[in-house]
Structure 1
Amino acid sequence: MAHNPERRTALVDAAIEVLARQGARGLTFRAVDAEAGVPKGTASNYFTSRDDLIGQVARHIHVRLGPDAQELEAAENAPRTRDALPAVLTALYQRVTRERTGYLALLELRLEATRRPEVREILTEAIRANLQRDIDYHLASGRPGDDTTVVVLYLSLSWLIVEDLTLPGVLADYPPEHMVKVLTGLLVPPD
């Protein structure tokens, strides 16, 4: 197997693009090679099988969807109040929806996880770890709300993102920023 980490990452990123655009059935080594702009056969030199490629995508997708240093700093410097929380959550919402293909690929992986236990295991581990990190961060930050508050916000924002990325017309009269503010007001206890 080839061991150029930058090329491997580029191939995984190309696989994410293919997955988002064509779904799991369209995810082939040939499609990944074409998306990455590399010679035919390159992906097969980096991944032992299609399952290996899907596993690598499942492990990498959260890196791509994760916050950058500026977003982390802004969240860290935001006031620890209920009124300030919508701005933090709106920034998260905007980041994820800007990375549209990454989130759509994650949705495809979630569907694939219903059929493939190995994908389910990888995604469950990654998403549970991310959620636990968010809970721990929230509790340590001193913001209002407990672990259940974080979980309910996670579930609410997740579906708001799915709705916006897949059927944006459904909530056309309800801007996401407004809905985040409403959700925060309903779910987060007063300071």
Structure 2
Amino acid sequence: MAQNPERRTALVDAAIEVLASDGARGLTFRAVDGRAGVPAGTASNYFASRNALLAQAAERIHVRLRPDEATIAAMVRTRPEPSPDVLRRELTAMYHRLAAEQTEYLALLELRLEAIRRPEVRASLTATIRGNLERDMASHRESGLPGDDTAVVLFYLALSWLIVENLTLPGVLDGHDADRLIAALTDLVAAR
């Protein structure tokens, strides 16, 4: 197997793009090579199987979705005193940042569907998402913002599905502004 880490990352990024545009059925080594702009056969030199490529895409997609460390540090450094209002503003900003990442979310939906049928993808995606959720709970506890670990899980579930709903069936929530929904959820959870 080829070992160039930059090329491997570029191929995984191309796989994410193919998943978003063509779905899991369209994810072939040839399609990945074409999207990455590399010679035919390159992806098959880097990944032993399609499942291996899918598993690495399941890990990589969250790197693409997560803000860089400098952005996180700046947000924490400039955060005002913890309050329900600060929590609402941060959740609303997170929603808008993530909702703008349509390629990543479409690819993530495809990966979730593949996880039903492919244990390797399920294991990779479960470990990655579970690790992110654990990190988010720890960060929330350290922040002093209102809500416990259960609140963080509720925010994760609500924001994830709000993004999916608006991405896949935007008319379903006509008349329901996302910012107001997030504010109402924050009020409910912070009032616990």
Following superposition, the deviation at residue 76 of structure 1 comes to: 4.7
Map of 1:111 onto structure 2: 113
TM-score, length of structure 1 as denominator length: 0.94
Between the two proteins, the alignment pairs up a number of residues equal to 190
Instruction: Name the counterpart of 1:12.
Output: 12
| Superposition misfits of 4+ residues, deviation over 4 angstroms | none
Question: Are 1:121 and 2:123 matched, yes or no?
Answer: yes
Partner residue in 2 for 1:77: 78
Q: Which residue of 1 aligns with 2:142?
A: 140
Note if contact 1:16-1:101 (Cα within 8 Å) is conserved in structure 2.
Answer: yes
Match among 77, 84, 88 for residue 86 of structure 1: 88
Choose which of 73, 78, 100 in structure 1 pairs with 2:102.
100
Cα contact 1:11–1:43 (8 A) shared by 2: yes
Structure 1 segments unaligned to the other structure (5+ residues): none
Q: Which residue of 2 aligns with 1:22?
A: 22
Q: Give the TM-score normalised by structure 2.
A: 0.93
Aligned-partner residue type, residue 141 of structure 1: S
Shift in alpha-carbon separation, 1:123–1:76, aligned structure 2, 3 A: farther
Distance 1:166 1:98 in 2: 13
Alignment of 1:50-69 (within 5 A): 50-68=50-68, 69=70
Distance in 1, matches of 2:77 and 2:176, equals 28
3-state DSSP class of the match of 1:83? helix
Structure 1 contact 90–177 (Cα < 8 Å) conserved: yes
Give the 3-state SS of the residue equivalent to 1:67 in structure 2.
coil
CA RMSD of aligned residues (A): 1.4
Give the Å deviation of 1:169. 1.7
Contact 1:18 1:27 in 2 (8 A): yes
Matched, 1:158 2:160: yes
Q: Contact between 2:52 and 2:120, CA under 8 Å: does it hold in 1?
A: no
Percent of paired sites with the same residue = 62
Superposition deviation, residue 71 in structure 1: 4.7
Contact 1:10 1:36 in 2 (8 A): yes
Deviation at 1:7, TM superposition (A): 1.1
| Residues 51, 118 of structure 2: 8 Å contact kept | no
SS of the residue aligned with 2:34?
A: helix
Identify unmatched segments of 5+ residues in structure 2. Answer: none
* 1:34 equivalent in alignment to 2:44: no
Q: Higher helix fraction: Structure 1 or Structure 2?
A: 2
SS of aligned partner of 1:91: helix
Q: Distance in 1 between matches of 2:184 and 2:143?
A: 22
2 CA distance for matches of 1:22 and 1:75?
38
